[in-house]
């Protein structure tokens, strides 16, 4: 056993491998168990002590990402001034979401780039925690709102903005400019009446010409 492997003998190897995997992903280096082992300073066989294959390591990295993103969202809620409007607080959640994606793009893509794996209980739970944070915030800030559907709409908005920036569809502006955009967009959506007035339809049926 190498000196590096001995360093992780007491239960730290799994965490070290996940950290190394995140570093490999974000560096742009080709991702493989061998590359992760090399980055962690352990033998090529070491990752298999905790991960059966590349897919298992992917899921572990995704779970770590979900936990970190949830912490960012919780911090955004906790740091919002008591005088903040509901729209401002929800906008801060959106800003935290997009900022995470731009700060850790490879991990973000890994988290959401695959179909939901219902068989991976840890990943399902970690993902669900994000929805819990948003659902609870919407329920508290907007009493009487259709919480499930509004939460889905707001999540879709933040998620779409994140990928529009990552894919270069929106300009890669400084962080402050991105935050301002997210804040403005969220505010615009929340300003739209949830129950718009009925529209008067124009009769387009052909009629006689007088």
Domain layout of the chain by residue ranges: 3-49, 54-191
| Of 19-23, 66-70, 75-79, 202-206, minimum mean pLDDT range | 202-206
The Cα–Cα gap between 25 and 36 comes to 9
Helix (H) or strand (E) holding 137: helix 121-141
pTM: 0.83
What class has domain 54-191?
mainly alpha
Q: How far apart are CA 129 and CA 73, in angstroms?
A: 11
Other C-beta atoms closer than 10 Å to the C-beta of 75 total 12
How far apart, in whole angstroms, are the C-alpha atoms of residue 71 and residue 66? 9
SS3 content of the chain, % helix, strand, coil (to 5): 70, 0, 30
Give me the pLDDT at residue 198, please: 53
The full DSSP string for 28-47 is: TPPP-HHHHHHHHTS-TTGG
pLDDT digits (tens, 9 = 90+) for 76-91: 999 999 999 999 999 9
Residue 50 reports pLDDT greater than 50: yes
pLDDT digits (tens, 9 = 90+) for 1-34: 344 444 445 468 999 999 999 999 999 988 999 9
CB neighbourhood size of 126 (10 A): 21
Q: What is the DSSP string of 120-133?
A: -HHHHHHHHHHHHH
- The Cα–Cα gap between 83 and 18 comes to 40
pLDDT tens-digit series, residues 110-140: 998 766 666 678 888 999 999 999 999 999 9
End-to-end CA distance of the chain: 97
């Amino acid at each position: 056993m190498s000196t590096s492997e001995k360093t992780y003998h007491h239960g730290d190897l799994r965490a070290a491998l996940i950290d190394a995997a995140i570093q490999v992903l974000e560096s742009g280096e080709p991702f493989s168990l061998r590359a992760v082992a090399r980055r962690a300073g352990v033998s090529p066989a070491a990752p298999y002590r905790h991960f059966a294959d590349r897919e298992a390591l992917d899921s572990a990295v995704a779970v770590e990402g979900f936990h970190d993103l949830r912490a960012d969202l919780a911090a955004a809620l906790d740091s919002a001034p008591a005088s903040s409007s509901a729209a401002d607080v929800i906008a801060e959640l959106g800003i935290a979401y997009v900022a995470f994606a731009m700060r850790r793009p490879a991990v973000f893509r890994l988290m959401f780039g695959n179909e939901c794996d219902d068989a991976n209980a840890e990943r399902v739970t970690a993902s669900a925690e994000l929805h819990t944070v948003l659902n609870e915030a919407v329920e508290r800030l907007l009493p009487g709102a259709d919480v499930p559907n509004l939460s889905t709409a707001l999540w879709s908005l933040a998620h779409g903005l994140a990928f529009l920036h990552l894919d270069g569809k929106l300009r890669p502006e400084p962080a402050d400019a991105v935050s301002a955009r997210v804040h403005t967009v969220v505010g615009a959506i929340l300003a739209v009446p949830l129950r718009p007035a009925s529209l008067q339809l124009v009769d387009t049926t052909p009629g006689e010409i007088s």
